[in-house]
Amino acid sequence: MLKIRDLQVDYGGIKALKKVCMDIHKGEIVTLIGANGAGKTTTLRTVSGLKKPFKGEIWFNDMRIDGLSPQRIVKLGIGHVPEGRHVFKNLTVLENLKTGCYLRRDKEGIKRDMEGVFEHFPRLRERIRQKAESLSGGEQQMLAIARALMAGPTMLLLDEPSLGLAPVLVWEVGEIVAGINKRGVTAILVEQNAQMALSVAGRGYVLQSGGIVLEGTSEDLVKGESVKKAYLGG
Amino acid sequence: MTLQMFVQSLINSILSGGVLILIAMGLTIILGIMKVVNFAHGEFYMLGGFGIWWFFAEHGLNFVLALILSVTLVGILGVAIERGLFKPFRENAFPSLIISCGILLVFRAATQLSFGLVDHAVPTPEAFKGMIQVSGAFLSKERLIVICITLALIIGLYVFIKFTKAGLAMRAVSDNPAAASLQGMSVDRISSLAFFIGSVLAATAGCLTGPIFYVSPTMGAEPGLMAFVVIVLGGIGSITGTVIAGLIIGFIEGFGAIPFGTNYATVMVYVVLLITLIFKPMGLLGHAEK
Amino acid sequence: MLKNRRLTPNMVLLVIAILLILFPMLSGNKYYLRTITTLAIAIVLTSGFRLIALTGQLSIAQAAFMGVGAYCSTLLIMNLGWNSWICFFLAGFAAALTAGIVGFITLRIKEIYFAIATLALNELFRLIWVEWDTLFGGPAGIVNIPSPDPILGIHFGSVVSFYYIAVLLLFSATAMMLRIERSRIGLIFSSIREFDTLAASLGVNLIWEKVKAFMIACFFAGMAGALYAHLQHFISPVDFTLMDSVMFLLYGVIGGLESVWGPAVGCTVMIFIPVGLRLIPNYNPVIEPIIFGGILILVMRFCPGGLVGLFQKLVSDLKKTESQKGEQEHAAA
């Protein structure tokens, strides 16, 4: 579904990604793990078009998408939940969700998806008229995910959805991602919390200073000594 | 104060407040969405005035047609300026502020060069002529019509921003441009739209007041400056704040002018602004909405 | 090499200073003397604007502070008969005091709000001068302002004497700016602009530092205003308008706000351009704002560092090519 070939990205002359190759298949949850600055966020930002690659190719459903504008990429069905939530603080919950379906014209579908989102996140329904800035951190994260779902994506990029959340909520986010995946959305999950990520994801890539150093199924990665040491705290 | 004077002051207050709000709304939208401080905004008002003078007074076009024509032209000019000059400095207030000073100098001098520094009179359209008597006070029909149009535009803009998809996109971009582009919104297009709406509103204000006052190359200076006072007083980015502040300033000017003279009324406006900033550094509603 | 480079600006400064002092003896042309006097005043004002800009604030009211100085000194001399030299300094203090009060109110607020508050302030002052005609003479202004009092038998009334006072003021203002630039305050000022919160966390009292910069700038603006009043023998609200304040911004930006030399370069270029243009027959000065505005837009768009920034870039590019030639020597060092 998503093919990344020899992707190179520069930030002001500094190489953020060096020759990254990835394959994401339909229906998977794939996690990217690695330390801060390993290039996880950059990978997502490049896929969603916020960052232009220096070299390399990105293919989505047999269409080359590297260098396209974020608008085009959203239209193709890739949703991006950026790091740090980035909900529209001065907009209400409902308005935030409406921005998610900005490009859609099918009123019936929007209505259906909105219902689906509220079923998934009942707490958002309670706060529908509230401004997003008045929500708690966990609720804002849910809103950010819900907003991305409103675009009806076939693939979702999630950047550190558990960042800054209480431990209980971290696992709740994991369950949410699994639930979304069950409904047929392929997901790439970037996480600091490798434990949670690997429990949800089927496969994973380990990034280190801009390159992939390890890849495999979650079980293999969990068993692997290096991952255990570096990212699972023991 | 006689009834006649009171009613006249009331009408004048609402008129100048409304015109200010029309100009300031565009300013605050542009500032919110692009973080561009446009000191040349008052010049769109001036160009609108010259448009109505040129098409209606000089070339005898129908008033409505002349208005639409001049407003559209100014709107296109606004978008051209946004695309050509402000776009590289989006999100960067200081360079855009300085560029807008340059634009102001160029516009003002260019109109002066083309049409001279004299005041040009725009005749009142036939339909606007006459007086209306309301419980013993005479009101100018022209001013009432202008007030109605202005109020309709303000309400229309408010509805547009609060309830349409494009309005939602404008608010989203002004809130968080990166997140907005991830929802498929084109920041470029929304910025141009904001500039178009802003310059059209200012130009409309210029067209409507053209027949009431005179048209001259420096006519944009005072309302342009006052529009800034309005948005700062109301709180930058707040539409409701802009409306409230515009009316406050309109009333100070309208009711202060008769007993104290226009200059003292303006002094009072500035004093009110400075005092407000002492207690509310973000303006009246600056914190609530932004 | 390094030592040499540091000396160069001082050498240039010295040469310029000597030229400025000798100029009246070399040329008796009163028109040029007056132009340079105006230029010196403009540089003092623009340097002040730049100093405030260093703290991250744009003040669009410098002309008003010049006016405060001009009216203060003029009124004290003409109504109370005070010595003009004392009034000269009092003018500076009056402007600085006003700036201090205004600064404490407005510098706490965010940049855009501050810029607009200063705009309003400029208009406020102008309106006060226009309306309070019993004190300030209204729109007609104040006429017949005397020349400064003589000192030790030296009379000040000629174009040359004004020229020297202006040059002296320019020197002292420039010396002050250089001192600030190279001192701890200068460092604090620029750290405020770069990292407002960082500077605050380092224990720098932001507001006080910003007010300080604002007051120093306005002190010199006030003195320049007092000088201007003597020079013209006439002041009116039209001399200190918003447009004049915008002009100081324009001079500063075109010269380059990064460098302490920017205001001088900007003012010199922009004041001599009209002087040159007026030599053209049938010249219409109405197009001047178009030229100025055009230059301003072009500078901002293509070299935001201003003319000085452009020059520095050219020099460093030149040095780069030089150093590429002698790459090995440098690598060894």
pLDDT surpassing 60 at residue C1: no
Instruction: Give the CATH number, domain containing residue C133.
Output: 1.10.3470
Contact yes or no for A102 and B184 at CB 8 A: yes
Q: For the residues of A138-204, what is the DSSP string, one character each?
A: HHHHHHHHHHHHHT--SEEEEE-TTTT--HHHHHHHHHHHHHHHHTT-EEEEE-S-HHHHHHH-SEE
pLDDT surpassing 80 at residue C8: no
Helix spans in B210-238 (H): 221-234
- Give domain status of residue C4, yes or no: no
C113: which chain B residues are within 8 Å (Cβ-Cβ)?
A: 232, 236, 277, 281-283
A80: which chain B residues are within 8 Å (Cβ-Cβ)?
A: 182
Amino acid identity of residue B225, one-letter, is L
- Of the candidates B253, B195, B206, the residue with the CA atom closest to the CA atom of residue B226: B253
Beta strand pairing call for A29-33 and A186-190: parallel
Contact yes or no for A71 and B176 at CB 8 A: no
Measured distance CA(A48)–CA(A168) in Å, rounded: 30
Of residues B97, B274, B282, nearest to C115 (C-beta): B97
Instruction: Give the CATH number, domain containing residue A193.
Output: 3.40.50.300
Q: Compute the nearest-CA separation of C138 from chain B (Å).
A: 12
| SS3 at position C123 | helix
pLDDT (tens digit, 9 = 90+) per residue, C74-121?
999 888 888 888 898 999 999 999 999 888 877 777 667 788 888 888
Report chain A's mean pLDDT, rounded to a whole number: 88
CATH of B7-289, one of 3.40.50, 1.10.3470, 1.10.1790, 1.20.1260: 1.10.3470
Number of H-type helices and E-type strands within chain A: 10, 10
What pLDDT is recorded for position B153?
94
Q: Is the ipTM beyond the 0.90 threshold?
A: no
- Give domain status of residue C325, yes or no: no
- Give domain status of residue C262, yes or no: yes
Domain of A54, in residue numbers: 2-231
In A, minimum Cα distance to B176 occurs at A88
- Give domain status of residue C292, yes or no: no
Radius of gyration of chain B (CA): 19
User: Is C251 touching B (CB cutoff 8 A)?
Assistant: no
What does the block give as tokens for C303? 């070299």
Contact yes or no for B267 and C112 at CB 8 A: no
User: Is B289 touching A (CB cutoff 8 A)?
Assistant: yes
What does the block give as tokens for B53? 């003078």
Q: What's chain B's length in residues?
A: 290
What pLDDT is recorded for position B96?
86
- Touching, A vs B (3+ Cβ pairs under 8 A): yes
Measured distance CA(A147)–CA(A93) in Å, rounded: 9
Please, are residues B78 and B196 in contact by the beta-carbon 8 Å criterion? Answer: yes
- Of the candidates C13, C86, C17, the residue with the CA atom closest to the CA atom of residue C260: C13
Question: What is the tally of structural domains in chain A?
Answer: 1
Beta strand pairing call for B137-140 and B120-121: unpaired
User: Is B266 touching C (CB cutoff 8 A)?
Assistant: yes
In A124-160, which positions are buried (b, 16+ CB within 10 angstroms) versus exposed (e)? beebeeebbeebeebbbbbbbbbbbbbbbbbbbbbbb
What does the block give as tokens for A175? 């369950």
| SS3 at position C87 | helix
pLDDT (tens digit, 9 = 90+) per residue, C182-199?
776 666 666 666 555 555
Measured distance CA(C267)–CA(C44) in Å, rounded: 10
Specify whether the backbone of C152 is left (phi greater than 0), alpha (psi in -120 to 50) or beta: left
| SS3 at position B290 | coil
Provide the residue ranges of all domains of chain B, joining segments of one domain with +: 7-289
What's the CA angle centered on A202, arms A196 and A205, to 5 degrees? 80
Of residues A91, A98, A103, nearest to B184 (C-beta): A103
User: Is C61 touching B (CB cutoff 8 A)?
Assistant: no
Specify which of A211-225, B10-24, C251-265 reaches the highest per-range mean pLDDT. B10-24
For A125-129, A213-217, C100-104, C178-182, which range has the lowest pLDDT when averaged over its residues? C178-182
Residues of A contacting chain B (CB within 8 angstroms)? 48, 50, 69-71, 74-75, 79-80, 82, 86-91, 95, 98-100, 102-103, 147-148, 151
- Of the candidates A26, A65, A27, A24, the residue with the CA atom closest to the CA atom of residue A46: A65
pLDDT band at B138 (very low <50, low <70, confident <90, very high): confident
Residues B128-141 have a mean pLDDT of 79
What pLDDT is recorded for position B287?
57
Report chain C's mean pLDDT, rounded to a whole number: 82
Residue of C15 and A140 predicted with greater confidence:
A140
Question: What is the tally of structural domains in chain C?
Answer: 1
Residue of B110 and C15 predicted with greater confidence:
B110
Domain of C77, in residue numbers: 28-277
Contact yes or no for A95 and B182 at CB 8 A: no
| SS3 at position C163 | helix
Computed from CA positions of residues B38, B42, B45, B51, in that sequence, does the dihedral angle turn out positive or negative?
A: negative
Burial of A188 (0-12, 13-18, 19+ CB in 10 A): buried
DSSP character at residue C150: P
Q: How much of chain C is helix, strand and coil, in % rounded to 5?
A: 80, 0, 20
pLDDT surpassing 80 at residue C321: no
What pLDDT is recorded for position C195?
57
- Give domain status of residue C3, yes or no: no
What pLDDT is recorded for position B288?
41
A147: which chain B residues are within 8 Å (Cβ-Cβ)?
A: 183
Residue of C330 and A92 predicted with greater confidence:
A92
- Give domain status of residue C223, yes or no: yes
Contact yes or no for A50 and B186 at CB 8 A: no
Percent of chain C residues past pLDDT 70, beyond the cut: 87
Measured distance CA(B85)–CA(B191) in Å, rounded: 13
In B, minimum Cα distance to A83 occurs at B179
Burial of C27 (0-12, 13-18, 19+ CB in 10 A): exposed
pLDDT (tens digit, 9 = 90+) per residue, B253-283?
988 887 788 888 888 998 898 888 888 878 8
